[in-house]
């Protein structure tokens, strides 16, 4: 399986993402600059964390208009897995590929530590390797991870099982309904604030994030085998 790691000016978790795919999942990954105009060669699209365009105006608001985003939208429409972490999640929200918006952490502080997440839905292409209700430890590092959506949207998210991860116990940023990660209705676009790509090796503090990438790979292999 071949992944594109999209790199915007100001991305800074691209190397972690590349490492997770290449060295831990042991699949193919390539860095793709944000002005690229085709993603046809890739089976999965990864939007890494960082501070694209310096977080100017609003997080993700400028990156959302990079040429590559038209291709990301196309990939999402085609049903390819699209996964945004942290700033990548913020970009997916600004692009309208996921509902809602992000704003400042309630504490106004940048938080950088491990948090506990609960797997709310394991019947997704991103979480099938986890148990439902499984509690995992994944690091967060953000100043704007306070997810917001109106009540109507929240009801739809809940009803469709689109809330994939919630914070277990303490909510670090004040997000609605303790949301840490959501997916689109179709189930192939996931955005989350915590960084599973930084939790893929016990030597570096934990490997609870690896199953997320293994889930994507498993789903791809299964659908690929059927198609072949």
Instruction: Supply 16's token pair.
Output: 């972690």
CA-nearest of 167, 162, 165 to 188 is: 162
Please say which residue, 149 or 192, places its beta carbon nearer to another protein: 149
Q: Which residues contact 107 (CB under 8 A, 6 or more apart)?
A: 173, 174
With binding defined as CB under 8 A, does residue 56 bind another protein?
A: no
Which residues touch 46 (CB under 8 Å, ≥6 apart)?
A: 3, 4, 5, 6, 17, 21, 29, 83, 84, 85, 88
Q: How far apart are CA 70 and CA 36, in angstroms?
A: 10
Beta bridge partner(s), residue 138: 115
Which region among 3-11, 25-33, 91-99, 192-200 touches another protein (by CB under 8 A)? 91-99
Residue 30 or 106 with smaller CB distance to another protein: 106
105 scored as a contact of another protein (CB under 8 A): yes
Known catalytic membership, residue 197:
yes
Q: Is 103 a catalytic residue?
A: no
Is 107 a binder of another protein (CB under 8 A)? Answer: yes
| Interface pattern 162-181 for another protein (x via CB under 8 A) | ------------x-------
In this chain, which stretch among 56-64, 67-75, 120-128, 208-216 interacts with another protein, using CB under 8 A? 56-64
Instruction: List residues binding another protein (CB under 8 A).
Output: 57-58, 61-62, 65, 93-94, 99-101, 103-108, 146, 148-150, 174
């Amino acid at each position: 399986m071949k992944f594109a790691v999209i790199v915007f000016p100001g991305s800074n978790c691209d190397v972690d993402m590349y490492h997770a795919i290449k060295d831990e999942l042991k699949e193919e990954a390539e860095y793709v600059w944000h002005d690229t105009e085709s993603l046809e060669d890739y089976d999965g699209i990864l939007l890494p964390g960082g501070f694209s365009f310096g977080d100017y105006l609003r997080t993700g608001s400028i990156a959302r208009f990079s040429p590559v985003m038209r291709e990301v939208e196309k990939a999402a429409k085609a049903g390819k897995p699209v996964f945004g972490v942290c700033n990548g999640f913020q970009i997916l929200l600004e692009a309208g590929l996921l509902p809602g918006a992000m704003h400042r952490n309630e504490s106004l502080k940048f938080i950088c530590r491990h948090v506990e997440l609960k797997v709310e839905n394991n019947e997704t292409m991103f979480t099938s390797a986890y148990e439902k209700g499984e509690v995992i430890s994944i690091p967060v590092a953000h100043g704007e991870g306070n997810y917001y959506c109106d009540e109507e949207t929240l009801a739809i998210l809940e009803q469709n099982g689109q809330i994939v991860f919630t914070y277990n116990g303490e909510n670090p940023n004040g997000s609605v309904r303790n949301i840490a990660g959501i997916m689109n209705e179709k189930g192939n676009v996931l955005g989350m604030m915590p960084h599973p790509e930084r939790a893929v090796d016990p030597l570096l503090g934990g490997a609870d994030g690896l199953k997320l990438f293994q889930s994507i790979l498993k789903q791809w292999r299964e659908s690929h085998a059927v198609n072949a």
